[in-house]
Every structure is written in structure tokens, then in C-alpha cells.
Amino acid sequence: MSLFSTHQSFTARALALGLLLAACGSSGSTSGSAHLATTTVAPAAQTTTTLPAYPVTVSSAQGQVTLKSQPKAIVSLSPTATEDLFAIGAGPQVVAVDDQSNYPPNAPRTDLSGFKPNVEAIAAKKPDLVVVSEDGGLSAALTKIEIPVLVEPAAKSLDDAYSQVKQLGAATGHAAQASQLVASMRDQISQLVASLPHRAQAPRIYHELDQTLYTATSSTFIGQLYRLLGADDIADAADKTGSGYSQLSAEYVVNANPSVIFLADTKCCQQNLAIVAARPGWSGIGAVKAGAVVALDDDIASRWGPRIVDLLRTMTQALAKVPAT
């Protein structure tokens, strides 16, 4: 054992973590292939009282999954999928959700982890459907013991988010409610977009993921929401590798002078307007001077479930206040 080891193990671990985080960040890129549910279920036009016909085959990120009968014991290891399931009326079929699934409050939260899933602990819940956002070998392991797994990875676009809702609807026998939810989300979002005044110059925004100035660019899911609202993300210049995420220099953020700062690190890192204003050099930023530092809910801002409508509403309200130049 080398005397270096203390330091090297730190570096190695830091690198390993880096890869892990990079994997988390890029997992969204594979989700572009998420398909609309192909299903034998009754079309949405029919009433929701119609009993769904099983078996049902759903295409999710890891391929075709066939459910022999309507699942009655669903385990969700993805906070977004949990929100989706409850929003489409499949909540009563959910028996356990992971430790990060804190919404809706009545979801049956357990100490199961979607981050380091334990196959035995999941199997102990005797599920007839498991929903995860990252596979990591879990679907292979659970399929061996004949538990179907749906992989619903981080959405890359709003369409991804919609198709995941529909996949979950098809799988759980709530296709009609899923279609209604998607239609309602589409409606509300287009109303929000239409409510914004037209501007000659797009307002510049900075979306903060943590206080070391990690940020998301327009190529990420969250970044696309800003683009949808006609805002210009200051991080776009920094993302040369196209990973969608980067850590900005403080002097760049100050110099870029965003009109609105969105903090998605209010829960993790307790950031707020006062703390941001006290950062060296930040008091001169337009957003800080105007008080346009918007506290987002970290959870909502990192998920792609039904509450993106709430998120977009918060963003819209803040952007509407930006004075025309």
C-alpha cells in the first residue's frame, strides 16, 4: 500500500463520482428514443370506466415490456414516475416509492433507493411492476424473477415527458387519464407561453444548480423550458462539449449580467436573494439589483413530471416582470 493512498483514493473516488455524475447528466441523451406507448389498450376516446384489456405491451427506454395483467403492486424508484402515476390515477396501485419520492405527500415512501437499488429489497415488496429512471442492470436482475420493469429516463424534451406519462398510463390501465393529463399540460403550457409579451431582445437568464455555479444550458430539459419562454440562457456560451451542464466562472456570470437568476439550489444549498447579493461582485448584476432572483423548488426543477406546469408558471411570472429594453 502506498503512502499516497489517502490522497489518491480521494482523487480516484472523486473521479469515480465525476463519471457517475456525468452518467446522470448524459442519461437524458438516450431518452430521445423514448417512444409513444404502443398498446392494445382501448383508445382514449372511450370512457375511463372501460376495463383495460391485458396483456399490454409498452415500449419504454429499454425495449418492449409486456404486462400480463393490470399491475396492482407498483414500486416506483423514480420521483418523476411517482408524480406521474399519482397524477393519472394509478396512485392506489402503488405499494412503495423510493426515498426521494416526496410528492405527492401521500405516496408510500420507503427507504428503497433508486440511486443504489437493492434487488432483494425491491423483490420483498412483491411488485408486479417496477418503474425506474436509471436501469443500471436492475431490469435484467428483476426480469429474471419475472418482475416487469419500465425504465423512464430523464426527459430530454417536453415530448419525452409526455410520452412517459402515456407509457405509464398504458401500463397501469389509465391510458385515458394519461392522455387527458398530457392534453391539459400542453394546453396550460401554451397559454403560459402566449401570455408573455413579445420582446425585441430576449431576457438573459442564469439557472443555478448549486452555489459553485453549476448550471444547465439550453440543450438540457430545463434549459429548453427557458427557451420555450423566449429567454436566453447565459450558460450556452460555456457548453462547448455539449454535455448540457457546466460550471461557470463567477466573473463570467457577473459580466453576462442576467436579467433574472433562477435558483434551483434553495433546498440543497439554502441559496436565496440575500446570499446571492452578498457574493463578491454580484450586487451589481441586473437581476440582483431588480430583486429578480427567483427561488425555485429544487425538486420540481429537477423532475419532468406534471408539475413542470407549475415550474413554467413561476418562470413566466418572473420573465413577465423583466422591463422591456
Partner 1 sequence: MAVTAARPPPVRTPPDQAREAPAGARRFWVAAILVLVGAILAGLFLGPAGLSWRGILLDLVGRLPLVHVHSGLTSTERAILWQIRMPRIVLGGLVGWMLAASGASYQGAFRNPLADPYLLGAAAGAGLGATLIIAYAPTVSGWPVDPIPLAAFCGAILAVAVAYVVATTADRSGSSATILLAGVAVAAFFTAVQTFVQQQHSDSLRQVYSWILGRLGTSGWHDVWLVFPYVALSSAVLLVHRRLLDVLRVGDHEASTLGVDTARTRLVVVGAATLGTAAVVAVSGLIGFVGIIVPHTVRLTAGASYRRILPLSMIGGAAFLILADVVARTLAAPAEVPIGVITAFFGAPFFVVVLRRRVRT
24/8 Cα distance (integer angstroms): 24
Count residues contacting partner 1 (CB under 8 A)? 52
Residue with cell 416526496: 102
Q: CA dist 20 to 24, 76, 189, 268, Å?
A: 6, 21, 33, 19
- Per-residue interface string for the shown chain with partner 1, residues 98-127, x marking contact by CB under 8 A: --x------------x-xx-----------
Q: Is residue 137 left, alpha or beta, with left meaning phi > 0 and alpha meaning psi from -120 to 50?
A: left
Which stretch, 12-20, 140-148, 150-158, 200-208, contacts partner 1 (CB under 8 A)?
A: 12-20
**What are the residues whose beta carbons fall under 8 Å from the beta carbon of 157, sequence distance 6 or more?**
32, 221, 224
User: Rounded to the nearest whole angstrom, what is the least distance from the CB of residue 300 to partner 1 in the complex?
Assistant: 15
Burial class (CB in 10 A: 0-12, 13-18, 19+), 130: buried
- Per-residue interface string for the shown chain with partner 1, residues 168-207, x marking contact by CB under 8 A: ----------------------------------------
Burial class (CB in 10 A: 0-12, 13-18, 19+), 185: buried
In the bound state with partner 1, the residue whose beta carbon lies nearer, of 123 and 269, is 269
227/61 Cα distance (integer angstroms): 26
By the rule CB under 8 A, 11 interacts with partner 1: yes
By the rule CB under 8 A, 273 interacts with partner 1: no
By the rule CB under 8 A, 269 interacts with partner 1: yes
In the bound state with partner 1, the residue whose beta carbon lies nearer, of 54 and 252, is 252
- Per-residue interface string for the shown chain with partner 1, residues 14-43, x marking contact by CB under 8 A: x--xx-xx----------------------
By the rule CB under 8 A, 54 interacts with partner 1: no
Which stretch, 34-42, 56-64, 184-192, 252-260, contacts partner 1 (CB under 8 A)?
A: 252-260
By the rule CB under 8 A, 51 interacts with partner 1: no
Neighbours of 250 (CB within 10 A): 13
306/225 Cα distance (integer angstroms): 14
Positions in 210-249 near partner 1 (CB under 8 A)? 210-214, 237-240, 246-249
Which stretch, 10-18, 28-36, 63-71, 118-126, contacts partner 1 (CB under 8 A)?
A: 10-18
User: Rounded to the nearest whole angstrom, what is the least distance from the CB of residue 158 to partner 1 in the complex?
Assistant: 25
235/145 Cα distance (integer angstroms): 45
C-beta of residue 61 within 8 angstroms of C-beta of residue 153: yes
User: Rounded to the nearest whole angstrom, what is the least distance from the CB of residue 2 to partner 1 in the complex?
Assistant: 6
User: Rounded to the nearest whole angstrom, what is the least distance from the CB of residue 84 to partner 1 in the complex?
Assistant: 20
Of the candidate residues 272, 290, 291, 320, the single one contacting partner 1 (CB under 8 A): 272
User: Rounded to the nearest whole angstrom, what is the least distance from the CB of residue 98 to partner 1 in the complex?
Assistant: 10
Secondary structure (H, E, C), 154-210: CCCCHHHHHHHHHHHHHHHCCHHHHHHHHHHHHHHHHHHHHHCCCCCCCCEEEEEEE
36/39 Cα distance (integer angstroms): 9
Contacts with partner 1 by CB under 8 A lie at 1-7, 9-11, 13-14, 17-18, 20-21, 100, 113, 115-116, 209-214, 237-240, 246-252, 254-257, 268-270, 272, 274-275, 279-281, 283-284
